[in-house]
Amino acid sequence: MSETGEGLTGFGFATTTDEVVVGVDLTGRTAIVTGATSGLGVETARALAVTGARVVLAARRTGAAARIAAELTERTGNDLIEARELDLADPRSVRRFTDAWTGPVHVLVNNAGIMALPELERTPYGWEQQLATNFLGHFALVHGLERPLAEASGARVVCLSSAAHLRSPVVFDDLHFRFRPYDPWLAYAQSKTADVLLAVGITRRWGDRGVRANAAHPGIVRTELQRHIRWDTEGLPMKSVEQGAATSVLLATAPELAHAGAGYYQDCRPAAVVAERRPDHSGGVAPYALDPAAAERLWETATAALAP
């Protein structure tokens, strides 16, 4: 088995989370899933709970997260599922979450996100809302959990990306659309490229301490994430929620990927590096999303933005 997971067999487009976790035992380990109040987040949390892990649902809507935790406990028989408040768009909320954390974190799934906001929105700190929520909030979370992740001696971080990243690199000279016209899809694409670069940065900086990260493209899945868009899905390769969450769960649990990092996976397999967007929706990963120099620059930019 190579460190990229190229030896994975038996998994593909239609693989489900239940197939991924067969034989996996995470008893005694702790997993955090952001945005686990609907769609892929709930299914990811359920699959991790099935393995026996303690699962923390980190979400802005704590009431909804608490209800989901209770439902998952009943469905899985795992009573180590809990909800904690986390608003990724608010650095103060992220800091409260990380400051209150005790003990190691073995799995962190950066699942929460927003997509294609129709109008330009900024956080109180001036960041474009999609980049702030999808990337910066997760960067702050990872940064604040550096020690708990290292304490796990083999932690895995999963960064949810998207094939939409093929629409745009991170535009460092105008991250927040102060000069170029705002475009909902370009803003979303930039944030999803940033999520891949976060995985690259984590592995490069902390890999020697046992912390490795990979990015996942879940595929096209109908969830609450698409509430701002209307599109014709006829002919598109659609997935169920169970299939869409499978790649994230694989990266979080598969023994074969214990030492894999800085990769981009789709359909439970490492994705091919492509030179251009494919019209057949077959995906792949853009070279700029795996660029170590861009990952370093983005890390430094985010660090400066979060400085007191």
Q: Which amino acid is at 185?
A: W
Are 121 and 182 a contacting pair, CB within 8 Å? no
Nearest to 88 by CA among 151, 29, 156, 160: 160
Question: Which residue shows structure tokens 């408040």?
Answer: 85
Question: Which residue shows structure tokens 């974190």?
Answer: 105
Nearest to 45 by CA among 105, 111, 141: 111
Of 188, 264, 265, 288, which is the active-site residue? 188
Q: What is the largest CA-CA distance in the chain?
A: 53
* CA angle, 116 then 136 then 164, to 5°: 35
The answer to whether 265 is a known catalytic residue is: no
| Length of the chain as a residue count | 308
Are 87 and 81 a contacting pair, CB within 8 Å? no
Report which secondary-structure segment, H or E, holds 54. Answer: strand 54-59
Report which secondary-structure segment, H or E, holds 157. Answer: strand 156-160
Nearest to 269 by CA among 251, 253, 286: 251
Are 257 and 11 a contacting pair, CB within 8 Å? no
The pair of structure tokens assigned to 65 is 């997260």
Distance CA 15, CA 178 (A): 42
Catalytic residue list: 188
